[in-house]
Amino acid sequence: MKLVDRFLQYVKFDTQSDELTNLTPSTPGQMVFAQHLEKELHSLGLKDISLDDNGYLMATLPGNVDHKVPTVGFIAHLDTSPDMSGRHVNPRIVENYDGNDITLNADLGIVLSPSEFPELLHYQGQDLIVTDGKTLLGADDKAGIAEIISAVEYLKAHPEIPHGDIRIAFNPDEEIGLGAHKFDVEKFGADWAYTMDGGEIGELEYENFNAAVAKVTFTGRNVHPGYAKHKMINSLRVATQFAIMLPRWETPEHTEGYEGFYHLVGIEGEVEKTVLTYIIRDHDRDRFDRRKKEFEHLTRKINKEFPDCASLELKDQYFNMREKIEPVMYVIEIAEQAMRNAEVTPKVVPIRGGTDGAQLSFKGLPCPNIFAGGLNFHGRYEFVPIKSMEKAMQVIVEIARLVAQR
């Protein structure tokens, strides 16, 4: 099966994850998709194929060289983002993109325009896969899955390309931060791996945010508003006071590059009780720790004015994998050379987010992130250039060849 056909088939599976189910995988569609992939891997003749009850699918393409070669892995995730529906995805191919607006859905007036998404102009003359404006596309990360499977199929069909054992894995629930939680690194058995989960062509990432979630609960006192003087404590108002005490410009809409932020992601409340939920992000561990201490400081400040009103729950989610990759920088050098061999210019950039690779790196599997080719993830304007997918597949093949040569 060709790469594009494989991808167009995969996006038809509804695999949105759901952080509220407390199950693994969090939604049944992910297991349905994993079972489909399991059958496909058997049909390709891969070895050591296993699918566990949590939806983690692993397999091996055995090496074809007679000398000892490190085992390298390639990983992608089964789920799509909960941010937008992934059901009834209806992709189409825009051939030879001309640089003008792309009408995704005429009835709904949904247009993918370079005036709003200027990165489109980087792909003039290329074939693009887009949505019909009603769902996300699912290139994050079904493009990665299609690229990995197509690459091992290519290697199997071309035994003249030397390679060691190649391990592949597809895991659930990356989009809700749980993709690596039940990943059996020892069973996977790779010396290092790459997640094929990056964005546009050339991206190579081994730095990501340190991440935490903060939940601040404000307990108020409700009294008839006509007789509330010196009695009422309106938790909604106190919560608002807390929110405006955080730096105004240190939010996602005002930051880029290595700049961290506080991001208010949820408000739920009434007079007697209000809960603010934040995510805290920073690449630098010291600044990250200071951001968490700021929440502790502001909570104490609120409680000084309104005794015992505010309570704080802080939970670390993941850490910057740079400290785990720097001792084994050859894994980055190999990926950079593989890209150059595939006529792709490497773009080493920090991830302004998280990745399964970060958690896996801290579990003992160094795991930087390579582009899968898609853009505008998690929404109706998501698209993927076909050439970028083809180049990602070539990079996987080149990494396998270079590792065998080393």
**pLDDT score recorded for residue 233:** 96
**pLDDT score recorded for residue 136:** 97
Residues 6+ apart with CB under 8 A from 326: none
Name the residue among 354, 295, 347, 290 with its Cα closest to residue 319. 354
Q: If one looks up domain 3-207+321-405 in CATH, what number appears? A: 3.40.630.10
Question: Per residue in 57-80, pLDDT tens?
Answer: 999 999 999 999 999 999 999 999
For helices 3-10 and 386-405, angle between their N-to-C axes, nearest 10 degrees: 110
Find the DSSP H helices in 61-177.
139-157
Quote the CA–CA distance of 298 and 302 in Å, as a whole number.
6
Domains 3-207+321-405 and 210-318 share a fold: no
State the catalytic residue, choosing from 14, 79, 141, 147. Answer: 79
**What mean pLDDT do residues 335-357 have?**
93
Q: 56 with 76: CB under 8 angstroms?
A: no
79 noted as active-site residue: yes
**Token couple for 323:** 């400290």
Band (355; pLDDT cuts 50, 70, 90): confident
- Is the C-alpha dihedral spanning 145, 193, 82, 253 positive or negative? negative
Band (177; pLDDT cuts 50, 70, 90): confident
pTM of the predicted structure, to 2 decimals: 0.89
Is it the case that residue 282 has pLDDT exceeding 90? Answer: yes
**pLDDT score recorded for residue 23:** 96
Question: Per residue in 230-258, pLDDT tens?
Answer: 999 999 999 999 999 999 999 999 999 99
Is it the case that residue 174 has pLDDT exceeding 80? Answer: yes
State the catalytic residue, choosing from 38, 174, 203, 205. Answer: 174
Residues 6+ apart with CB under 8 A from 240: none
Question: Per residue in 296-314, pLDDT tens?
Answer: 999 999 999 999 999 999 9
Buried b (16+ CB within 10 A) or exposed e, 45-73: ebeebebeebbbbbbbbebbeeeebebbb
Is it the case that residue 114 has pLDDT exceeding 90? Answer: yes
CATH fold of the domain at 210-318:
Alpha-Beta Plaits (3.30.70)
Is it the case that residue 1 has pLDDT exceeding 90? Answer: no
Phi, psi at residue 254, to the nearest 5°? Answer: -120, 10
Question: Per residue in 30-55, pLDDT tens?
Answer: 999 999 999 999 999 999 999 999 99
Quote the CA–CA distance of 317 and 281 in Å, as a whole number.
10
289 noted as active-site residue: no
Domain ranges of the chain: 3-207+321-405, 210-318
Question: Per residue in 5-22, pLDDT tens?
Answer: 999 999 999 999 998 999
